[in-house]
Structure 1
């Protein structure tokens, strides 16, 4: 145990269409009640289907399917989306999951006279293993039919003949509405634009910028033919609420993303298209899952890939790049000596950037989320390149504020959303990889690696004592002493 100095960063002001501004304070969370999304999507054609045995379902009553759909549609419209009751697809248990989704898609086409945009799928319960109904729904929607899907569990939604009376359904519907709005291109929350402080985003807030995230998930087996799956995400507007993603298949346990240049080049073109011909003037890249020993190789290849992608887009185009590695697999824990949250953890925004960090390099520990159960693990950020000229305070604040913009919940999350989304996309890519192995179309991409990366097409230890010391108050927030236990 060692006592070190820490700071608490100020939380952001968040903007909705109504109310115009809220502050989450030091809780790291807020309630969506009576709030309207800043940008609500319009759903013109969608459908509902069920994978639950029909004999266990009822149509009406408190636990009825129609009652839940009415509550969900009401919550969607209340929070800013525009939608009608979805078309009901046939629930024939003899049909495969892909056939049920296709039938629901056709039902939406018949009812609304437009191409189906999304299918709601009722599952008995949420399971995410490779052969679970949830995984099969995502495989069919992403790889075979090219349509968005939104699953929800009957036991959580209070649906079924023997289900308990729904408790907390409105909160559950609000959470589902957030996911639907994001998938349909809406924005759930954004940082407040202050006319007296136009640089709401530090350093890069006055110019067009892009935030990238990347992660690689490796197979559990050691068979050389089992590939790793890489995913890259990127923002395409200044709200940091809309992201695009690309998923790639590459060599077995290959950490360096081989086809990064082609992916980044395509994302820059997409940003250019969506922003009236403007190119980003600053790039911030958060790379997840890189060990310290891999820093030189990843930096050499992936930084070069960014530069080549910019040069390929336009000769002389050379925006500044900030390259940050995000690590969660470490044994450092922070314990507050005062001012703990209700779970006994450090308050959201706690940052430590001295004494336990590298003596010459730029790195810091950031506890950006409020604990729900157990003890928090702070994220460890290593800044490998910073051509944008962030100060330590500015980059820490920029990173922390982004953690409030995660689209799936009204909480700050444990690490920056761009890397979080890449992590989710990489695991989704593994489901698509299984479908591709069974015969669906895979498009080859160029790059290095044992097998050559492939773009998967998607339509949408021991305690080590340290000395106890403290430092003066930081420039943001107030200085506090914290107990830190670091294990090697």
Structure 2
């Protein structure tokens, strides 16, 4: 198969920092890293494995119970444990500073919980739901647990000090994890909801209603990091989604967007409420919902012992309503006709009328948000830079971390003000527009007012299709022609305007698209160069996926969708930027690209790759993930790209089809397509250098990118023939992190072009933060770039300027973007083609009978559009 000799690449590690950048104007910055003084570096954490079991040897899996058991254990056996303080992660790990007196402990722990127990338990009534008030008495319900602690490892705190000096220690991350666990335990003791490295309190002032029974809950991310400036605590504002606390019925009405309980879909309600916790209004007790009754409250019966007048008792079936009326003196009113909540056990139901139940606070909502909920969340959770900085400073001051006995034992002192240091502002690249005109971006922005595109296309054979949107198609046609001509795009009148037949309005989206194409074929003499589609709705139209699939997979037609709304000149300008790029034109170039003066890249054939994986929304775990690679073409251009897209297993982050050898000795992987296209569009040259930008992986996955994905890329290159291997530069781009930058002397966001490669970066590895875009609202989030490999040998300044320039070549926009264009294009390609899968038959994308589903292949792009920037 022409694979060549096996490379010695199984142990690649991230490269060390070669130096820091010098270019750019100095700027004084703050970050949300708080300096930490570490004075007791000789302290040692001792790690003990924890096993908590019930009396029947069944393992305890509930973290809340686990924390209660360990808390009680510390109280009961303080002397046996030498009075030591613990850091417990809520699961299977417990840490102390210094050792315990022995390596293995076995303990018995008893938890007491107050409950009401009636005389003559009929069997189906739970504690607190049985017997009348005269016969109730308060008792203690106890549960016994078996706890074992077993010594596992020593974690010296000096490993952090070694890391700060640039010496990698395998125990550094373990020591940082213990410090994070100490912070988490402190917040758990305060009753906060813990979500990974973040915590959320139940204070209603932190709640933001999003509609649909969902509330955004503001909290804080906190984590220790080793940085070039020393140990720091990174604090950031974050938000999680919770179910809106309060009456269960209020949640259901809001969640299903109905006005009356009679309109509730109880099948959906049962699924939504399962495992949620409620508190009863009458007994103030908490329960977990396991299901709902099959019958309404006034018909659902259960057997109960009833004492007759002669003193004898017998078992009778009573309804839930009767029980509450006679035994609890509670009149069940409106919920009598609706199902009850079942809070018992699978074979011992315990029914509660809906009107007596409230959802308790801080219960996570994990379903996908609607577009409206997302928009509300973004709008209400954004903060101006100075407000966020103030919030974070107050959070650290109010946390009283310095009072924590474990942190004190480690000699850890956390400063109370934001970290201060210098950054640099890189000069924006000059852009070249049409007619040889230059544009110097101002604060990361430029426009095409009274200007031409540098390489406009000519559109001759095209049509407009309207899916029943209330839009004047003739007006749309005139406006887009006039706007296009003002930008240099010659657009003929559309061949036809195709209106959807009203009879198909209520048909499924696939049928509507097929019927539209029947009309297009009938009215056009041949395939059009381009189709403009007017969608019926402004957001998330179900037409979009089938329309794109029909055009890009079956017909090979470039298409642009627009939605009804503000169809003004600015809107049409933005649409035309996309259309021009899709049809092979260019809107602007960075001038160094046009002048062929980008260091290193323009001397040697260089391929730029962008890699990304798009996962299905939380509510669609049956859909496969979509991996995408875009590659530059027409070297020495850095602005033109082609995409290759595949499906892979749901939620799999590593790309597994970069290189895909087949049984007949061929390669059906994504990189092969990109390499062949580069060769064909770059004068028959193979790339001697490859720059790879990879999105969306965490530090724990760097090794896999280095040793699995990079190997695939090399194997794909070798498969195409002999010769020297290309030099590789591999850069990870992270947006999902919690480092924020603030101007020290201004309330505004940091200016576009801000770069930081000191103080808050890694103490050894080669990384930097860049804020290339102009943050207009909220607080800007810089992109964190990690250079894992640089065989090409860029200087630090040249590499940072290249990354900065690649934020200005995004053809859809007249602003600098926050991450390099190849990654944005890969993300767009993956997302657009993921729409192909949403309307497949469900049996194709989910397993039947509980088996593992085969991942369906993604329909391939038609040969007429596969080389286009269809994703633009």
Normalised by the length of structure 1, the TM-score is: 0.81
Aligned equivalent of 1:28:
444
Q: Give the deviation of 1:282 after TM superposition.
A: 1.6
Question: Which residue, out of 86, 89, 93, partners 2:502?
Answer: 93
Aligned equivalent of 2:612:
215
Aligned equivalent of 1:478:
none
Q: Deviations over 1:356-401 (max 9, x none)?
A: 1111111010001001211110000111111111122111110111
Alpha-carbon spacing, 1:338–1:108, altered in 2? closer, same or farther (3 Å): farther
Question: Which residue, out of 817, 829, 835, partners 1:413?
Answer: 817
Aligned equivalent of 2:691:
284
Aligned equivalent of 1:245:
643
Q: Deviations over 1:147-174 (max 9, x none)?
A: 22211122121xxxxxxxxxxx221111
- Greater shift in the superposed pair: 408-417 or 451-460: 451-460
Contact kept, 8 Å, 1:286 with 1:324, in 2: the verdict is yes
- Greater shift in the superposed pair: 31-40 or 74-83: 74-83
Contact kept, 8 Å, 1:213 with 1:422, in 2: the verdict is yes
Contact kept, 8 Å, 2:599 with 2:798, in 1: the verdict is yes
Please give the residue correspondences for 1:319-330 in structure 2 after superposition, counting only pairs within 5 Å: 319-330=726-737
- Superposed CA RMSD: 2.6
Question: Which residue, out of 365, 372, 380, partners 2:784?
Answer: 380
Alpha-carbon distance in structure 2 between the residues aligned to 1:203 and 1:102: 49
Alpha-carbon spacing, 1:98–1:194, altered in 2? closer, same or farther (3 Å): closer
Contact kept, 8 Å, 1:90 with 1:103, in 2: the verdict is no
Alpha-carbon distance in structure 2 between the residues aligned to 1:74 and 1:177: 11
Q: Does 1:188 align with 2:587?
A: yes
Aligned equivalent of 1:138:
548
Contact kept, 8 Å, 1:127 with 1:134, in 2: the verdict is no
Contact kept, 8 Å, 2:535 with 2:543, in 1: the verdict is yes
Contact kept, 8 Å, 1:212 with 1:233, in 2: the verdict is yes
3-state SS of paired residue (2:837): helix
Contact kept, 8 Å, 1:49 with 1:121, in 2: the verdict is yes
Q: Deviations over 1:330-361 (max 9, x none)?
A: 11100012467xxx111100000111111111
Alpha-carbon distance in structure 2 between the residues aligned to 1:118 and 1:145: 11
Q: Give the deviation of 1:252 after TM superposition.
A: 2.4
3-state SS of paired residue (1:260): coil
Q: Does 1:106 align with 2:491?
A: no
Q: Which runs of 4+ in 1 moved over 6 A?
A: none
Aligned equivalent of 2:266:
none
Number of equivalenced pairs: 423
Q: Give the deviation of 1:193 after TM superposition.
A: 4.3
Contiguous gaps of at least 5 residues in structure 1: 58-63, 158-168, 441-448, 461-488
Alpha-carbon distance in structure 2 between the residues aligned to 1:427 and 1:136: 14
Alpha-carbon spacing, 1:193–1:350, altered in 2? closer, same or farther (3 Å): closer
3-state SS of paired residue (2:458): coil
Alpha-carbon distance in structure 1 between the residues aligned to 2:690 and 2:711: 13
Question: Which residue, out of 109, 121, 126, partners 2:538?
Answer: 126
Question: Which residue, out of 560, 572, 577, partners 1:150?
Answer: 560
Alpha-carbon distance in structure 2 between the residues aligned to 1:259 and 1:387: 24
Aligned equivalent of 2:570:
171
Alpha-carbon distance in structure 2 between the residues aligned to 1:41 and 1:348: 31
Q: Does 1:39 align with 2:455?
A: yes
Q: Does 1:427 align with 2:837?
A: no
Q: Deviations over 1:103-152 (max 9, x none)?
A: 46426732xxx521221111244213xx6333343243334443222111
Q: Give the deviation of 1:90 after TM superposition.
A: 3.7
Q: Give the deviation of 1:102 after TM superposition.
A: 1.3
Alpha-carbon distance in structure 1 between the residues aligned to 2:468 and 2:473: 11
Contact kept, 8 Å, 2:425 with 2:752, in 1: the verdict is yes
Q: Give the deviation of 1:12 after TM superposition.
A: 0.4
Contact kept, 8 Å, 1:228 with 1:251, in 2: the verdict is yes
Contact kept, 8 Å, 1:89 with 1:107, in 2: the verdict is no
Aligned equivalent of 1:306:
713
Q: Specify the structure having the higher radius of gyration (Cα).
A: 2
Alpha-carbon distance in structure 1 between the residues aligned to 2:853 and 2:653: 12
Contact kept, 8 Å, 1:326 with 1:379, in 2: the verdict is yes
Alpha-carbon spacing, 1:385–1:233, altered in 2? closer, same or farther (3 Å): same
Question: Which residue, out of 68, 79, 84, partners 2:487?
Answer: 79
Q: Deviations over 1:163-195 (max 9, x none)?
A: xxxxxx221111111011011111111111489
Q: Give the deviation of 1:82 after TM superposition.
A: 2.4
Normalised by the length of structure 2, the TM-score is: 0.46
Aligned equivalent of 2:194:
none
Contact kept, 8 Å, 1:14 with 1:23, in 2: the verdict is yes
Alpha-carbon distance in structure 2 between the residues aligned to 1:40 and 1:105: 26
Contact kept, 8 Å, 1:186 with 1:242, in 2: the verdict is no
Q: Deviations over 1:4-33 (max 9, x none)?
A: 2200111101111234211114x1001111
Alpha-carbon distance in structure 2 between the residues aligned to 1:72 and 1:259: 40
